[in-house]
Amino acid sequence: MKTRILYASSYGYAKEMAEQLSVGLSGEVQCVNLNVKQNLDLNDVDTIVLGSSIYVGQIHKSMKEFIKVNHDLLLKKRLVIYLCCAFEHEFENHLKNNFPLELLEHASMIQNLSGAIDKSKLNFGYKMMVSMIEKTEAGKKPILRYDDRIQTILSHLNT
Ligand SMILES: Cc1cc2nc3c(=O)[nH]c(=O)nc-3n(C[C@H](O)[C@H](O)[C@H](O)COP(=O)(O)O)c2cc1C
């Protein structure tokens, strides 16, 4: 079984999730950063995992572009999607706003793997945004980790 984990990440959290998945998956597994590489030969791949972090309600442009170009191919593969949403209550809306409905219906599993924000690493604009988010009700709550959801994806794909 061949699996490709295609991820898009700015500060490393979605990448870390891809790497954790790759370690636990059986068969031939490769992680690919879509922000670096877009043209991929996926014809002989059985399973595709798409993973992206979210910035102001949007998945990465590279992920959007990849989905647009490979829409039909994705519908022929076993598909799992994960998002890295720091704010769990926004997860369903982020899915609906960023992915075509038929891909969401086709995916055999979709998970939110939460997120991490390290303000010291952010660029100036993002730092300002996070300072504003921190003043909101949702932003005052701690960002929870859902490590069990990695295991849920692994159990799903390894059986
Ligand atoms: C400026 C900014 C905007 C964000 N906007 C959202 C958002 O709209 N919804 C959400 O759930 N998380 C949001 N997040 C949280 C990120 O998705 C989270 O930090 C994620 O782990 C980042 O992943 P990365 O390190 O792979 O880039 C935001 C984070 C930053 C810094």
Dihedral of the CA atoms 99, 104, 110, 115 (nearest 10)? 10
Kindly report each contact of residues 125-129 with a partner whose C-beta sits within 8 Å and lies 24 or more positions away, as own/partner. 126/55, 129/56
The C-alpha atoms of residue 62 and residue 8 are separated, in whole angstroms, by 7
Query: Which run of H or of E encompasses 138?
Result: helix 137-140
Domains contained in the chain, CATH given: 2-118+145-158 (3.40.50.360)
Atom number, ligand 1, closest to the C-alpha of residue 125: 1
Grade residue 101 by pLDDT with cuts at 50, 70 and 90.
Answer: very high
pLDDT tens, 69-78?
999 999 999 9
Q: What is the mean pLDDT of residues 139-153?
A: 93
Q: How confident is the model at residue 108 (pLDDT cuts 50, 70, 90)?
A: very high
Question: In the predicted model, what is the mean pLDDT of the chain?
Answer: 96
Distance 130 CA to ligand 1 centre (A): 9
Mean pLDDT of 94-114: 98
- Of 7 and 38, the structure prediction assigns the larger pLDDT to 7
Give Cα separations from 100 to 13, 28, 75, 94, 141 (angstroms).
Answer: 24, 28, 11, 11, 30
Predicted confidence at residue 117, as pLDDT, reads: 94
Among residues of the chain, what percentage have pLDDT more than 90? 96
Query: Cβ(66) to ligand 1 under 6 A?
Result: no
Over residues 27-74, the pLDDT tens digits come to: 999 999 999 998 999 999 999 999 999 999 999 999 999 999 999 999
Q: Best mutation site among 53, 88, 136 for ligand 1, i.e. most ligand atoms within 8 A of its Cβ?
A: 53
Q: Which atom of ligand 1 is nearest to the CA of 122?
A: 31
pLDDT for the residue 126: 95
129 lines ligand 1 (CB under 6 A): yes
CB 82 less than 6 A from any atom of ligand 1? no
Q: What are phi and psi of 92, to 5 degrees?
A: -60, -40
| pLDDT for the residue 79 | 98
Q: Region 131-135: what's the mean pLDDT?
A: 94
pTM as predicted: 0.97
